[in-house]
Chains A and B, each alone.
Chain A
């Protein structure tokens, strides 16, 4: 069965410093992986997706993630944090068994950005 583990429940950075949000996955086959962001009282926005093409995936708002099969990781990074990046981030794996897209969510990482 597919699963994801987000290694940090909270991450706090200063504005202008790098962001690293860590995610490990478990999958019996080559997975589809996603990062979504959720601002307070809002829906989820897709940041980026990995679907077995390039292992370095670029997303919106300067975020990127690298798929590392040997480490079963899909960490999210951004070179320079902005105040508007403060939000909840979810690492998600797609369980496509049976042909339907069941998104398996990690527990989430709350990113705080301080001046």
Chain B
């Protein structure tokens, strides 16, 4: 199994909603990442978890709240988002913090 699985694939939410994005990998990777990608732009790093501990937060607004319940799962909790938060949210994992990353297919988020 060499996959990073993200659910849901698409999400439409209102600005007052609370929703969560989920990411799962069973490759034994110990580092997991959230990236945000706007249209026609490269991905931008949001968070890095290493051994289930938050290692990097790239000054992301608190309306995005990551959670790593165990070494295989990574969640991104969303609350009070703005329309400009609409983007493709990509999860990735790597064996360690310094090896190549494998990406999921992404969640296309639309905030209305």
Binding site for B on A (CB under 8 A): 32, 34, 36, 41-46, 49, 90, 94, 96, 99-103, 105-108
Considering the complex of A and B, which 6 residue pairs feature the smallest CB-CB distances, nearest first? A105-B42, A44-B103, A43-B103, A43-B105, A100-B97, A96-B98
Binding site for A on B (CB under 8 A): 4, 6, 31, 33, 40-43, 45, 48, 50, 55-56, 88, 90, 92, 94, 96-106, 108
B57 CB → nearest A CB, Å: 12
B42's partner among A43, A94, A108 (CB-CB below 8 A) is A108
CA A46 to CA B2, docked complex, whole Å: 12
A100's partner among B56, B90, B92, B103 (CB-CB below 8 A) is B56
CA A96 to CA B31, docked complex, whole Å: 13
Residues on A with beta carbons closer than 8 Å to the beta carbon of B4: 43
Residues on B with beta carbons closer than 8 Å to the beta carbon of A99: 97-98
B42–A101 touching, CB < 8 Å? no
Residues on A with beta carbons closer than 8 Å to the beta carbon of B105: 42-43
- Known interface pairs A100-B31, A100-B50; A90-B98 also in contact (CB < 8 Å): no
B42–A45 touching, CB < 8 Å? no
Interface centre among A43, A100, A108 (most CB of B within 10 A): A43
A54 CB → nearest B CB, Å: 16
Chain A residue with Cβ nearest B50: A100
Interface centre among A45, A103, A105 (most CB of B within 10 A): A103
Residues on B with beta carbons closer than 8 Å to the beta carbon of A49: 100
Chain A residue with Cβ nearest B56: A100
Chain A residue with Cβ nearest B95: A101
Residues on A with beta carbons closer than 8 Å to the beta carbon of B92: 44
A101–B104 touching, CB < 8 Å? no
Residues on B with beta carbons closer than 8 Å to the beta carbon of A105: 42-43
Chain A residue with Cβ nearest B94: A101
A43's partner among B40, B48, B90, B98 (CB-CB below 8 A) is B90
- Known interface pairs A43-B104, A101-B31; A107-B99 also in contact (CB < 8 Å): no
